[in-house]
Amino acid sequence: MTIRKKLIVSTIAASVAATAFAGLPLSNKGLAEKLGFNNTAYATSAFPSTDIVDYAKKLRAALVATDGLDEVQALRTDIKALSTDDLKSIASPITSRVTTKLGASFDPDDKKAVEALVLDVISVTYDPNLTELERIRNTDAYRAVLAELAVGAGFDPQEVDDLTVDDVADYFFTLQEKVAGLIKGLSTEQLFAALSDPVKRAALIEDAFEALAAENLIVQDIFDAYDIETSDLKEVVVSAQAKVDSTTVLKAAMALYGAYLKMNESTGGPGPIGGGGEEEVKVEVPKEVTDFIDDIKKKLANATEAEKLAILTQAVQQATALVTKLSSFDLSSNVTVTNGQAALQVSGSSVLSAIAGIGEILKNVKELAPGVAIPTVLLNINLGNVAQNDVKIGLNDAVIQEAIKAGLGGINLSVNGLNAVLPVGGQFNGAVDFNINKAKADSTTTGGQQAASEVYSFGLSIGGKAVTTFAQPILISIPLGNVDGVDKELLSLAKIVDGKPVFQGGSVQGDKFVEHRDTFSSYVVVENKVTFTDIKSVEAWAGRAIQVIAAKGAIEGKKAGVFAPKDNVTRAEFAKMLTRALDLDNSLATENFADVKDTDWSAPYIGAAAKLGIIQGRSATKFDPNAQITRAEMATMIARALKVTKGAKDVTDVNAALAGFKDASSISTALKPGVAFSSKNGIVIGNNGKFSPNASATRAEAAVMIYRAVNFK
């Protein structure tokens, strides 16, 4: 089952196709036998859930109806055709964990049985043949070794109720729901782009794993018992993807996407297995939206080609105004107070109707004016000002699902001047409860630094389960207090860890301090004055930059009071400086470079930058984190980062922008656009008519370049 889990999410396509059939042939009797339980306990048990059978039949029928069954079958066939050596290689992260856990008690024959079972399960997962599954279920060696593994995981063979086929089916179909939730949040074009890009595809897979891990299902106990971690899952996934033709993967994924659209037409979406949960709400699109869309279509139908442009231009303006109107809700009158806590539950039909209307507008604008860039739309929920320091905001599942369906960029919650923008989709794929607690700042929480805000503690649960780390960071805007006499450039968000501030960066925007958070704790904005005793030689041209970037926690001294301004910067160090300074860091981000370990201090920074396309390896598999970074590499990374964070545009004429440098010909072709951008915008400046692209940069130079990037407009 461990391997099945890994391979099920090896691609978005396979994760849906395989899980649709994963539980079908296993009766409670069969599962009990496989785990070595008393097989008489389930001798008369029938298949546990007709809902699971119906669900699988519906998915298969949708694949047939959309001509997608052959595409999915081709993927399963490719997996089944992999060699034994390929499958052993894929399985090795799991088998090695089992061997490590059981040690000497895990004899060679047992290991061979696990490997053989793993290979069989991988193959049959992609080719759900009932006869083959019966053979696996009735293999004596498999029953024996699974009994040993089950006991090793803490299961009592006499207490078969600890794990039933219902639990196993629930696990795999819950995984399918998570993947389906990710797919539902994407347009066809977005899905195609994501699945065509290995980095984005890996991010989707990562989101599915993280969403499932939050469910704490019984089957997860087996995985946990053998220390099988997310890193193992990802290693198996990446290995499996590399051995399957990418075109076959993409075709199968798109076929399954089409099948889900078909299922949505008739059933309103896949939904949970076995019923229960919130009652389905019929959502009506506002009449003003349908009237607006009908009116535009009528005008276009009777217009000449010359008239259509003017009609569409006006329509986009009207659509923007209508979306703005629909997306904003003042719910201050709906706030209730109980035991000193202010609370708001967002679940009304008016909110759902507005979200549906926004989705309908966005869909039609995209269809009627495909060349028009549509800005990200947020649903704005305003609680106004409340007297209580403790606030709880609930968003029910229907609101979240409708927001995903509409393609919203997030939900902006506002209370007492504080804003939090929660993503929708991915990990945020269930009912959300968001808690805010406010307290006065004092010297014990600020480390003696001057506070510029109150202390805010945040809490979040998704689907009723507490979540403290996020693959999709949450944007927090904290209202500033009295900042008279404060150097605003030195303000930083401090995360309070063990009673001490750890500086996270962020920036002042108007009367608020803004920062993305990928974890939740207690936070306060402080003026962080950092001093160094060894920067006199660079003070004139780099002093301010060093002071500001150090205040953000983006660059640190080599030791207390020592900056070492003339030391060179490594590629890993610059990844941290840039992502932290530009508010791009993500502690859950991962990368696929062979020379960057998950345990390396730089891994999350390199992962965050790689995920956004800001950095690339020096080869397909090598990042070279400890190598000194060159000026051209720094210029390019900054240019890419500013495109992500501030919408910067590439230089139109690269050669013209580089014409002033005598050594322009020595700049790598791949790095020329980035150098041209950074040079033209004064971020990286040449010297004596040369850019010196291959020269190493010092820590002082790096601070200056990043300071200029932070202030880029």
Q: Which residue has the higher pLDDT, 193 or 616?
A: 616
Domain boundary among the residues 267, 293, 312 is at 267
CA trace torsion 7, 13, 19, 21 (10° rounding): -120
pLDDT for res 598: 85
Indicate if 509 and 427 belong to the same structural domain: no
Place of tokens 């076995």: 274
Q: Which residue has the higher pLDDT, 587 or 639?
A: 639
Tell me which H or E stretch contains 380. strand 378-382
CA nearest 361: which of 425, 302, 318? 318
pLDDT for res 130: 40
pLDDT for res 81: 72
Classify residue 464 by burial, with Cβ atoms within 10 Å: 0-12, 13-18, 19+. Answer: exposed
pLDDT for res 198: 63
pLDDT for res 585: 83
pLDDT for res 229: 74
CB 479 within 8 A of CB 452: no
- Res. 201 pLDDT band, cuts 50 70 90: low
pLDDT for res 457: 94
Query: What does the pLDDT average to over 198-204?
Result: 64
Which of 191-195, 304-308, 590-594 shows the lowest mean pLDDT across its residues? Answer: 191-195
Q: Which residue has the higher pLDDT, 160 or 425?
A: 425
pLDDT for res 355: 95
Query: What does the pLDDT average to over 140-162?
Result: 60
Domains held by the chain: number: 4
Q: Which residue has the higher pLDDT, 473 or 178?
A: 473
pLDDT for res 559: 87
pLDDT digits over 546-605, tens only? 999 999 999 888 888 999 999 999 999 999 999 999 988 888 788 788 899 888 989 889
Considering the domain boundaries, does residue 121 fall inside one?
yes
- pLDDT above 50 (res 117): yes
Indicate if 546 and 505 belong to the same structural domain: no
CB 632 within 8 A of CB 692: no
Indicate if 594 and 476 belong to the same structural domain: no
Give dist(CA 366, CA 177) in Å, integer.
Answer: 27
Indicate if 196 and 111 belong to the same structural domain: yes
Mutual orientation of helices 349-368 and 397-406 as an angle, nearest 10°?
10
Indicate if 282 and 398 belong to the same structural domain: yes
Give dist(CA 688, CA 711) in Å, integer.
Answer: 25
Indicate if 544 and 513 belong to the same structural domain: no
Considering the domain boundaries, does residue 53 fall inside one?
yes
What's phi and psi for 447, nearest 5 deg? 65, 25
Give 157's contacts (C-beta < 8 A, 6+ positions apart).
35, 36, 37, 38, 147, 150, 151
Which of 235-249, 400-414, 606-620 shows the lowest mean pLDDT across its residues? Answer: 235-249
Indicate if 287 and 426 belong to the same structural domain: yes
- The dihedral built from the CA positions of residue 162, 166, 172 and 173, taken in this order, carries a sign that is negative
Query: What does the pLDDT average to over 297-323?
Result: 90
Query: What does the pLDDT average to over 36-59?
Result: 41
CB 235 within 8 A of CB 192: no
pLDDT for res 36: 32
pLDDT digits over 103-112, tens only? 777 677 777 7
Domain that holds residue 100: 2-267
- pLDDT above 70 (res 197): no
- Res. 510 pLDDT band, cuts 50 70 90: very high
Give dist(CA 365, CA 285) in Å, integer.
Answer: 16
Query: What does the pLDDT average to over 620-637?
Result: 91
CB 525 within 8 A of CB 453: yes
Indicate if 520 and 613 belong to the same structural domain: no
Indicate if 351 and 369 belong to the same structural domain: yes
Considering the domain boundaries, does residue 174 fall inside one?
yes
CB 582 within 8 A of CB 588: no
What's phi and psi for 524, nearest 5 deg? -150, 145
Considering the domain boundaries, does residue 272 fall inside one?
no
Classify residue 2 by burial, with Cβ atoms within 10 Å: 0-12, 13-18, 19+. Answer: buried
CB 458 within 8 A of CB 493: no
Indicate if 612 and 550 belong to the same structural domain: yes
CA nearest 528: which of 448, 443, 445? 448
pLDDT for res 452: 94
- pLDDT above 70 (res 466): yes
The three-state secondary structure class of 273 is coil
Indicate if 522 and 593 belong to the same structural domain: no
Considering the domain boundaries, does residue 287 fall inside one?
yes
Query: What does the pLDDT average to over 290-296?
Result: 93
Both tokens assigned to 404: 């995903």
Domain boundary among the residues 371, 401, 433 is at 433
pLDDT for res 20: 32
- Res. 96 pLDDT band, cuts 50 70 90: confident
pLDDT for res 424: 92
pLDDT for res 243: 75
Tell me which H or E stretch contains 98. helix 84-102
Q: How much is the mean pLDDT over the chain?
A: 77
Considering the domain boundaries, does residue 331 fall inside one?
yes
What's phi and psi for 629, nearest 5 deg? -80, 145
pLDDT for res 634: 93
The 8-class DSSP code of residue 282 comes to: -
pLDDT for res 557: 87
Q: Which residue has the higher pLDDT, 413 or 25?
A: 413
Indicate if 136 and 112 belong to the same structural domain: yes
Q: Which residue has the higher pLDDT, 326 or 368?
A: 326
- pLDDT above 80 (res 441): yes
Query: What does the pLDDT average to over 517-534?
Result: 92
- pTM of the predicted model, to two decimals? 0.60
Q: Measured between alpha carbons, how far is residue 180 from residues 24, 59, 225 in Å?
A: 19, 12, 28
- pLDDT above 70 (res 414): yes
pLDDT for res 237: 66
Please name the residue ranges forming H helices in 153-245: 165-184, 188-196, 198-213, 220-225, 230-242
The 8-class DSSP code of residue 535 comes to: -
Tell me which H or E stretch contains 306. helix 305-326
Query: What does the pLDDT average to over 66-87?
Result: 71
pLDDT for res 95: 74
- pLDDT above 70 (res 209): no
Both tokens assigned to 342: 């202010």
Cα angle at 665 between 661 and 671, to 5 degrees? 90
- pLDDT above 60 (res 389): yes
- Res. 632 pLDDT band, cuts 50 70 90: very high
Query: What does the pLDDT average to over 464-476?
Result: 88
- pLDDT above 60 (res 230): yes
Domain boundary among the residues 494, 529, 564 is at 529
The backbone region for 331, taken as left when phi is positive above 0, alpha when psi lies in -120 to 50, beta otherwise, is alpha
Considering the domain boundaries, does residue 610 fall inside one?
yes
Give 219's contacts (C-beta < 8 A, 6+ positions apart).
1, 163, 167, 168, 171
pLDDT for res 233: 66
